[in-house]
Amino acid sequence: MILVTGASRGLGRSVAVRLANKGQEVLGLSRTCSDLPFQNVSCDVSDYAAVKAVAQDLKKGGKEITGFINAAGIASMNLALTTPPSVTQKLIQTNLMGTIYCCQLFAPLMIRRKFGSIINFSTIAVTLGLKGESIYSASKAGVEGFSRAFAREMADFNIRVNCLAPGPIKTDLLKGVRDEQIEAIVSRQVIPKIFLADDVCDLCEFLLGQQSQSISGQVLNVGGA
């Protein structure tokens, strides 16, 4: 089984649908369950107790977890000076703490079988240092730092941990971002084009699969940075 957080929309949904269509058993986690073409449970990843409850249910069910994709995330495009503390707190709590909680609580399900691949979503904004994304970038930079160290902690258990850092990809997360802003970011990528959710799905499949067994502790910037 492969777990996908943030599975009700955006890239999380795209990845979960792709994997389900390829015949993988997928369990999606999201704050709001909706009509999705894969199993899903309601879970706010920023709530440690809620994540723990899901992990306990999975353990009781004896499910073999081979992959875990941490795609849950929120964005807020604002200058740091005009971002209210409540928004800052929410960004860090969901993007960084949510990732940490899920890794802490789901990795033991993989450790038992000494096999697995974890993909934590970051953003190309971390490397590019984009104006208006300082706090969002900070939360994701935390994810990258955590993932690099966590990869080393998990290596002895044959579990790989990597980050995928997409640039602008047309999802709900980009609502409210002007086209010219998107173009400005894309122009700074090594490959200056807007990639599709399908491209991210391809990379997820690669990182979950055996073909990437030599890759851990890395950040893959989609489009290059």
Partner 1 sequence: MNLDSSKKIVGDCISEITDGQVVPVDDLNLIGKDACLDSMKLVELCLALEDKAAEYGFEFDWTSEAAMSRSQSLFRTLNSLSKEFYAQSQLKQ
**Which positions touch partner 1 (CB under 8 A)?**
48, 52, 56, 59, 104-105, 108, 111-112, 153, 156-157
Query: 49 or 81: whose CB is closer to partner 1?
Result: 49
Q: Which residues are catalytic?
A: 136
Minimum CB separation from partner 1 for residue 103, in Å?
12
Minimum CB separation from partner 1 for residue 47, in Å?
13
Q: Is 86 exposed, middle or buried (0-12, 13-18, 19+ CB in 10 A)?
A: exposed
Query: 114 or 193: whose CB is closer to partner 1?
Result: 114
Are residues 225 and 189 in contact, defined by beta-carbon separation less than 8 angstroms? Answer: yes
Query: 104 or 181: whose CB is closer to partner 1?
Result: 104
Minimum CB separation from partner 1 for residue 105, in Å?
7
Minimum CB separation from partner 1 for residue 88, in Å?
23
Query: 52 or 90: whose CB is closer to partner 1?
Result: 52
Q: Which residues contact 191 (CB under 8 A, 6 or more apart)?
A: 223, 224
Q: Rounded to an integer, what distance in angstroms lies between the CA atom of residue 43 and that of residue 54?
A: 8
